[in-house]
Amino acid sequence: MLGDRQQLSYIAAQAADARLNLELETEGMTLNIGPQHPATHGTLRIIARLDGEQVVWAEPACGYMHRGYEKLAEVRTFPQVTTLVNRIDWLGSFANEVPFILAAEKLMGVEAPTRAQYIRTILFELSRIANVSLFLGDLGVQLGAITPVFLAFRDREYVLNLIESATGGRFHPNFDRIGGLKDDLPAGWIDETRAVMKKLRGFCDQIEDLLFGNEIFQSRTRGIGVIPRDVALQYGLSGANLRASGVDWDLRRDQSLPMMWNKADWKVWTHPDGDSFARCWIRLQETRESTKIVDQLLGSIPAGPVMAKVPKIIKVPEGEAWVSTENPLGEMGYYVVSRGDLGPFRVKIRSASFNNISITPWLLRGVYVPDIVTILASLYFILGDIDR
């Protein structure tokens, strides 16, 4: 027996077919986009029923890369879990560690020293920049312009080098500890970071000139895949996708966490249109804001330890905690249940991409095949973040 959801989508598919056959007396074609397809940069599969080049019905099929992190976390100790959650959104790994560590700290009642909080915030924003700058380049490739991606890879490399020199890991830093950080920053890191932030602002200008100002790019993205404000809220979108629909919502600003975003002066951008262009534009602006946050925080890092006093063997007291942060892809949260053991009893991971792609069946109805790619690119998901 099919599940309710599957049954509904099956009925929708049948209805779409019947409508096609009635109106045009032609047969629809089912196009399987993925699991291996250049547009999905990962193993996402989209089943689309086509009428010519128009999509009548589409449905994402995820789960090809499910790695069971929620279950695996139950048989790990608390410090070990960061190694797992690093791999959820692999482009912004450090940002994945932070909410989990914050949840554990909340349960234990410890708080990281101020210096550690500053460095955490800076690394968080750096991983956002590394993540979104790849998006800005990849956007070009999805729309057929091959040059921006190389510029993106070039400038993202500077950020990855910074992350590597601070944490030792380019992709998977595994740097956060309950109660602080593994190490202090290396010498000269702050000056280097300032120089890189300047380069990245240049990169943003370059992308704006090369891609966002291009008439073809605008005609491909403006008015394509419009998500109205109420629909965006209904489907539980978060992050830039939500802000592009005009919802002024940013967890970095709206939530009080032991992080240092409120110490910097920056702006939450929103866009009234809700189309693909708005989503891309919001991300471009956010990269600029992130470089500003990093610049301002670098100037005011206080001296002091980077690690609070925590026992060698970490046992988290009994209790439940939910912490979510504004990750590069949207809201990412962990619901941690502890029974006073070395490891968590249960972890629920709320990742942004899974909710963000849930809107695709609604959004892809009636668009053309090339627009599938535009819409998917502008929604911006990471496969690891969908399947966990």
Partner 1 sequence: MSPLLAEIPYWGESLFRVLGGLVAVLLPAGTIVYVFLFKMMSFMQSRLGPMEAGPYGSMQLFAEVGKWLQKEDIVPERADARIFKMAPIIVLLSTFLLVVVVPFGPDALFTDLETGIFYALAVSSISVLGILIAGWSSANKYSLLGGLRAAGQLIAYELPMVLAVIGVVIQAGTMNLQKIVVAQNSGSMFGIDAVGHPYLISQFVGFVIFMIAIQAELTQAPFDMPIAESELVSGYMTEYSGFRFLIFFIGEFATAGVFAMIASVLFLGGWGVPFSWFGWTSIDEVDNWMNFAGPLIMFTKMMLIVFIIMWIRFSYPRLREDQLQRFAWKGLIPVALANIMVTSILKVVF
List contacts with partner 1 (CB under 8 A). Answer: 29, 31-32, 37-39, 53, 140-147, 150-151, 154, 210-211, 214, 216-217, 219-220, 368-373
Q: Yes or no: say if 233 and 247 are a contact pair by the CB < 8 Å rule.
A: yes
Q: Which is nearer to partner 1, 28 or 173 (CB)?
A: 28
**Residue 340 burial (CB < 10 Å; 0-12/13-18/19+)?**
exposed
| Preceding peptide of 35 cis, ω within 30° | yes
Structure tokens at 237: 């979108």
Least Å distance, CB 219 to partner 1, is 6
Q: Report the alpha-carbon distance of residue 343 to residue 81 in Å, rounded.
A: 9
Alpha carbon separation from 284 to 60, 166, 277, 318 (Å, rounded): 27, 25, 11, 42
| Minimum distance of partner 1 from residue 216's CB (angstroms) | 5
Residue 275 is classified by DSSP as S
- Least distance to partner 1 from the beta carbon of 142, Å? 5
In eight-state DSSP terms, residue 248 is -
Q: CA-based angle 263:266:268, to the nearest 5?
A: 125
The candidate with the shortest Cα–Cα distance to 42, out of 374, 329, 384, 330, is 384
Instruction: Rank residues 56 and 260 by Cβ distance to partner 1 and give the closer one.
Output: 56
Shortest Cβ 274–partner 1 spacing (Å): 20
Least distance CB 139 / partner 1 (angstroms): 9
Identify which of residues 335 and 368 has a Cβ nearer to partner 1 in the complex: 368
Number of continuous H segments (helices) and E segments (strands) in the chain:
16, 8
Residue 164 C-beta: closest distance to partner 1, Å: 21
Nearer to partner 1, 221 or 327 (CB): 221
Q: Nearer Cβ to partner 1, position 88 or 372?
A: 372
How, if at all, do strands 346-350 and 330-338 pair?
antiparallel
Q: What percent of the chain is helix, strand and coil (3-state, nearest 5)?
A: 50, 15, 35
Q: How many CA atoms lie within 13 A of 184 on its CB side?
A: 13
Which of residues 152 and 185 has its CB atom nearest to partner 1 in the complex?
152
Give whichever of 1 and 146 is closer to partner 1, judged by the CB atom. Answer: 146
Smallest gap from residue 39 Cβ to partner 1 (A): 5
